[in-house]
Amino acid sequence: MNTLVFQLSKTLIQDLTQRLSPYQTSNNNPYVTFSAKYMDATFLAYTSGKLVIQGKGANSLAKYLELNTDSSKDSSSSTSLKSGQDFPMIGTDEVGNGSYFGGIAVVASFVTPDDHAFLKSLGVNDSKQMTDQKIQAIAPLLEKKIPHQALLLTPQKYNQVVGKGLKHNAVSVKVALHNQAIYLLLQKGVQADKIVIDAFTSPNNYQKYVTKEANQVRQAITLEEKAEGKYLAVAVSSIIARAMFLENLKTLGEEVGFQLPSGASAKSDKVASQLLAAYGMESLAYTAKLHFANTQKAQALLNK
């Protein structure tokens, strides 16, 4: 059995155990503070600060945790997490979840250190500062250069699967989309040292829903808040997804003859009431997410 031993700081062990929390197992050893099983390996954290990873997947798990395995087997040399993003990684993000009109666009992107200079030259690292015009201008460049998988759940399809008595709720449908985007990108042959999702739910909640999916991603996944500002791979996905969402919103608007606003403000209520007056509920089922409160508000406006 392959065994790796590390002596780590309390803070570092806390970081590692948080990442492995979805895979936690019980352990009766009074000196073990945390145990988990993942990637064909057992992870054991001790009160002394010692970390033991054992099993045929020990090296793979250590690599995922970004631990230095250059030291010999059963060593107790200190190590630290690799900082930054100087390794191949997949990042995902979604756009449209908070908008009444339009679908949900989810993108998974594969970025290597060789791509960093190109991405920074486009301002991808400052993507939150970008206007929609800038995003739409550079998204085609990213789509051409960066391996990615894009998925668009249209409002019509969204309303068929999300809601009371249906297959998904507003969170589980995003779990399904992110999982599928990652799965399909990995199927293209990319090899990532890390997979990060811009967190929209807790790791435990994500794990609860993703186990129900037919296509399972075997590699560990990390959910991080504000990941778009930390990782270029996530920022790329955010930009491509935003461009997809805006294009979908424009197309839907052209089809029904109305300019559909992004978001879920009173402006959306007003446009929705106009659509109801012109075409009835079918027009909202085609262009909007019906379970939003905007639907009832639009109906109230129409009945005034």
Same domain, 247 and 276: no
| Position 83 pLDDT exceeds 80 | no
| Section 65-93 average pLDDT | 61
CATH of the domain at 216: 3.30.420.10
Residue pair 262/155 in contact (Cβ under 8 Å)? The answer is no
Does the structure show a pLDDT above 70 at 257?
yes
Q: How would residue 84 be classed by pLDDT, with cut points 50, 70 and 90?
A: low
Domain containing 277 equals 256-303
Residues 112 and 203 in one domain: yes
Predicted confidence at residue 104, as pLDDT, reads: 98
108 falls in which pLDDT band (50, 70, 90)?
very high
Tell me how far CA of residue 95 lies from CA of 161, 226, 235, in angstroms. 18, 14, 12
Q: Is the pLDDT of residue 75 over 60?
A: no
User: Confidence class of residue 290 from pLDDT cuts 50, 70 and 90?
Assistant: very high
User: Do 237 and 154 reside in the same domain of the chain?
Assistant: yes
Query: Phi, psi (5° rounding) for residue 238?
Result: -65, -40
Listed residues 210, 230, 252: the one ending a domain: 252
The model carries a pTM of: 0.74
Tens-place pLDDT, residues 20-73: 888 888 887 777 889 999 988 899 888 877 888 888 888 888 888 888 765 423
Is the domain of 233 the same as that of 193? yes
User: Does 15 carry a binding-site annotation?
Assistant: no
Q: Is 198 annotated as a binding residue?
A: yes
Instruction: Report whether 108 contacts 92 (CB < 8 A).
Output: yes
Q: Are residues 108 and 246 in the same domain?
A: yes
The answer to the question of residue 73 being in a domain is no
Q: How confident is the model at residue 14 (pLDDT cuts 50, 70, 90)?
A: confident
Q: Which residues pair with 45 in a beta bridge?
A: 34, 51
Residue-wise burial string across 205-216, b where 16 or more C-beta atoms lie within 10 A, e elsewhere: ebbebbeeeeee
Residues 241 and 169 placed together within one structural domain of the fold: yes
Q: Please tell me the total count of domains within the chain.
A: 3
Is 213 labeled as ligand-binding? no
User: In angstroms, what CA-CA distances link 237 with 5, 145, 210, 268, 271?
Assistant: 36, 13, 20, 26, 29
